[in-house]
Amino acid sequence: METFGERLHAAITERGPLCVGIDPHAALLARWGLSDDVAGLERFARTVVEALADRVAVLKPQSAFFERFGSRGIAILESTIRQSREAGALVLLDVKRGDIGSTMAAYAAAYLDSGSTLRSDAITVSPYLGVGSLRPAFDLATATGAGIFVLALTSNPEGASVQHAVGPGGTTVAQSVIDEISQLNAGVSPLGSFGLVVGATIGKTGHDLSAVNGPLLAPGLGAQGGTPDDLRAVFGESLHNVLPSYSREVLSAGPGIGDLRAAAERVLEDVRTALG
């Protein structure tokens, strides 16, 4: 069975290091001239998939923007995931789940089990009930060839008070998360399946990412203020594992298919230059 790390490495080699979010929030639907309802959601998601799923390495639907429409929104999310994967894109479902025991196992099954209609190539999770609480997701990901991206250093102002807090051993909470994920990827080639989420706008924090040996998702680029050049300051010698993520910078170019593709090509060229 091919692992997520192997599939991601191949996709980046073939298509380039780019993740594009699918974030159908109300303001963006309005910008596209679409109604803020299920019909607008369906048109938006279908257009993004048609424009980008056959050419970018990763598409990242934000589950919340589908969930807000209830069961009909979830049905569109299922279709979006299926169509994206059929067109060749890897799907990273942005759900940021984090719980304990059987509840975490149920979340993992919902998004990673091979029989689930929401089955994705990878998901985002939150480790702030303890990295060990995520073990059911790690285990199922390993069993099914899926991936996990764990929040580590986020760019929201509130995050630093938790993530930069120092434990009894002198290690920050974020560094302890980084170190535990590094252990899961130890010795894996060409790329581990367990990644981290590290905001592109956080600057130099003194955290060591060198041993992660897995993908480093870098959100916050474009409309959120991050630039490709910021990636060097944040990731340093770990640039080779960075997966830059754009959402509004690309999506705001819609609804034209050609315009969306041109925007994705433009930012891909920018990050290729920055990543060397």
Where are the domains positioned within the chain?
4-271
Q: What is the pTM of this model?
A: 0.97
Instruction: Determine whether 115 is exposed, middle or buried from the number of CB atoms within 10 Å of its CB (0-12, 13-18, 19+).
Output: exposed
Nearby residues of 46 by Cβ (< 8 Å), 6 or more positions away:
80, 83
96 is annotated as an active-site residue: yes
Read off the pLDDT of residues 210-240 as tens digits, 9 standing for 90 and up.
999 999 999 999 888 888 989 999 999 999 9
Nearby residues of 262 by Cβ (< 8 Å), 6 or more positions away:
253
pLDDT at 264: 98
Q: What is the spatial distance between Cα 118 and Cα 80, in angstroms, rounded to a whole number?
A: 9
Read off the pLDDT of residues 171-207 as tens digits, 9 standing for 90 and up.
999 999 999 999 999 999 999 999 999 999 999 999 9
Question: Do the Cβ atoms of 71 and 103 come closer than 8 Å?
Answer: no
Read off the pLDDT of residues 55-107 as tens digits, 9 standing for 90 and up.
999 999 999 999 999 999 999 999 999 999 999 999 999 999 999 999 999 99
Backbone angles phi, psi at 185, to 5 degrees: -100, 0
pLDDT at 191: 98
> Residue 141: helix, strand or coil by DSSP?
helix
Which pair of structure tokens corresponds to residue 15? 């298509």
Read off the pLDDT of residues 21-41 as tens digits, 9 standing for 90 and up.
999 999 999 999 999 999 999
Does pLDDT of 168 surpass 90?
A: no
Within 10 Å of residue 208's Cβ, how many Cβ atoms?
14
4-271 — its CATH code? 3.20.20.70
Does pLDDT of 111 surpass 90?
A: yes
My answer on whether omega of the bond before 244 falls inside 30° of 0, hence cis, is no
Q: Which of 46, 96, 232, 248 is catalytic?
A: 96
My answer on whether omega of the bond before 255 falls inside 30° of 0, hence cis, is yes
Does pLDDT of 276 surpass 90?
A: no
